[in-house]
Amino acid sequence: MLLKEKNIIITGSGRGIGKSIALACAKEGANIGLLARTRDELNEVNEEIIKLGTGVKVSVQTSDVTKYEEIESAFKAFYEELGEFNGVIANAGYSRMWDSHDFDSNKFSEIININVSGVFFTFKAAFPYLKKDSKSEKARFIITGSAAFTNPMPKFAAYTASKFAVVGLQSSLALEYKKENINFNMILPTMVDTRLARGRKAGDGNKPPNVMDAQELNDYYIFLLSENANRIDNALIFTNDFDEV
């Protein structure tokens, strides 16, 4: 098991990419911190992890990543239940398709808040509990970005802007905390068969050929969380060039 007894926290883990990562990490022996806004979805993921039979610990917390007090409280609870974090995955995200000239201002701000402020708040809340003092292993902070960073999409102005922003955020954090024992990396998928990308059509079995299944991303995250990635820092990993890494 690549992640045996490691403590991994995942935001947006009630469904989609986050849920898939949580199950994959549990299969590799990691203890899991599940965080999202919807308790029922998290409880379902928890039940699926239990059914794996790996005996890992699971902590379930609800939080809105745009509200710092909530996420700060959630990460404190994760620490109290699991101990120091080996890895944190800032995965929570949101998007809407809209003509830019008619984009609802409040909705635009909401997307930016979730996709940018949410990542920053996740790091800030996690920082005191990241396992930064080990000389034998690195703590990991992984961001779920998007290939929209290099391939902007029309009618997705807020989402595209947010995914540009988190690239800058990661670069700044990686430089600022270079002397800390933390690696910062980002995975930038193309379109994935999730409710974020395909709405109610997600999981209908009729996804276009260019749309990935969430499970296809698991190896990217597992690799970055493992000791095999100790020397990888501030990388942008696109899902079509994993072999190069």
Contact 27, 53 (CB under 8 A): no
* Block residue for tokens 């034998």: 136
Q: How far is CA 105 from CA 34, 58, 157, 170, in A?
A: 31, 38, 12, 26
- Of residues 94, 129, 159, 177, which has the active-site annotation? 159
Q: Give the Cα separation of 176 and 172 in Å (integer).
A: 6
Residue 88 corresponds to which tokens in the numbers above? 């944190």
Which segments within the chain are labelled E, that is strand?
7-11, 31-36, 58-62, 87-90, 139-144, 182-188, 235-238
DSSP SS3 for 106: helix
Residue 229 corresponds to which tokens in the numbers above? 């990635």
Closest to 91 (Cα-Cα) out of 214, 5, 177: 214
Q: How many whole angstroms from its chain centre is CA 161?
A: 18
Phi/psi region, residue 99 (left: phi>0; alpha: psi -120 to 50; beta: rest), is beta
In the annotation, is 159 catalytic?
A: yes
Which residues are known catalytic residues? 159
